[in-house]
């Protein structure tokens, strides 16, 4: 018999745990770039850093460090929030998560304003919107739990989870794309290729729209789907995430071995 759109507990916990594990390479790379972005001799290990531009380098390092913290804490927060046993830890870590979200956003805003992104104005606009939504979701998640509106808090927590994992998901999408099209015909070094332009908004707008669809259908209680179908869908998405992460991890290894 078909049931409402609900993923069984094991599948739900496994999927979020997998996302947490797959985020580890991104977390490590972000911390390495943030700490070693501009070395003593002036050499940079990533083009977002520039020798002599102290303020923009500090802002992007702040964005990377606390963005890595968000990526690490987001799956953990979601998992603990689903269990009454870990509710106290969930609340405590929530303070750190909130601070990380604010610092990540403001570090990104500052960098975009004084330096600009590699992709120019289209990317500046998209990434600024992403940062604004991250702040909004953080505020709404806190506000609803303070008002003891658990349903709204949980909905905004899921929105916040998607946004918090956005930087990781952005790179995963490129990994899947380059696996399908190794030539990278839609990508250019200045990030003005067709795929690049799509990805400016594609790493956070479509996932958020899918989530809103999920909320809408659950509220209406009209759409039915068999648990096996929902599990297979999660499995398919998991495979894509693994493929994208593996490509990204392989790229990191190749860069480190040069």
Q: Which residues of the chain have pLDDT under 70?
A: 1-7, 37-47, 222-225, 255-258
Contact assessment for residue 101 and residue 132, using Cβ atoms and an 8 Å cutoff: no
Report the phi/psi class of residue 117: left, alpha or beta, with left for phi > 0 and alpha for psi in -120 to 50.
beta
| pLDDT score recorded for residue 35 | 80
Q: What residues does each domain of the chain span?
A: 9-256
- With 0-12 / 13-18 / 19 or more C-beta atoms within 10 angstroms meaning exposed / middle / buried, residue 43 is exposed
Q: What is the pLDDT of residues 58-85, one digit of tens each?
A: 899 999 999 999 999 999 999 999 888 8
Hey, what are 53's tokens?
């531009």
Can you give the pTM of this predicted structure? 0.89
Which among 53, 62, 19 is positioned nearest to 158, based on CA atoms? 19
In whole angstroms, give the CA distance from residue 88 to residue 79: 13
Contact assessment for residue 199 and residue 174, using Cβ atoms and an 8 Å cutoff: yes
Residue given tokens 């071995």 in the structure block: 257
In whole angstroms, give the CA distance from residue 161 to residue 176: 21
Contact assessment for residue 181 and residue 222, using Cβ atoms and an 8 Å cutoff: no
């Amino acid at each position: 018999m078909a049931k409402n759109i609900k993923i069984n507990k094991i599948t739900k916990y496994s999927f979020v745990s997998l996302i947490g594990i797959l985020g580890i390479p991104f977390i490590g790379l972000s911390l390495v770039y943030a700490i070693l972005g501009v070395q003593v001799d002036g050499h940079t290990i990533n083009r977002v850093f520039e020798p002599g531009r102290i303020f923009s380098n500090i802002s992007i390092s702040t964005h990377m460090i606390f963005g890595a913290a968000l990526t690490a804490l987001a799956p953990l927060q979601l998992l603990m929030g689903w269990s009454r046993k870990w509710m106290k830890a969930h609340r405590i870590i929530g303070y750190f998560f909130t601070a990380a979200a604010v610092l990540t956003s403001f570090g990104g805003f500052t960098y975009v304003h004084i330096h600009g992104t590699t992709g120019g104005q289209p990317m500046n606009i998209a990434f600024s919107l992403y940062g604004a939504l991250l702040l909004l979701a953080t505020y709404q998640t806190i506000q609803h739990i303070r008002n003891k509106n658990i349903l709204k808090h949980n909905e905004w927590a899921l929105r916040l989870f998607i946004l918090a994992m956005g930087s990781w998901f952005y790179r995963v999408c490129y990994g899947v794309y380059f696996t399908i099209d190794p030539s990278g015909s839609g990508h250019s070094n200045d990030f003005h290729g067709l795929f690049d332009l799509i990805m400016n908004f594609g790493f956070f707008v479509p996932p958020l729209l899918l989530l809103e669809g999920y909320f809408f259908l659950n509220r209406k209680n009209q759409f039915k789907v068999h648990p096996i179908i929902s599990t297979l869908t999660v499995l398919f998405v998991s495979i894509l995430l693994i493929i994208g992460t593996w490509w990204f991890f392989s790229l990191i290894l190749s860069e480190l071995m040069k």
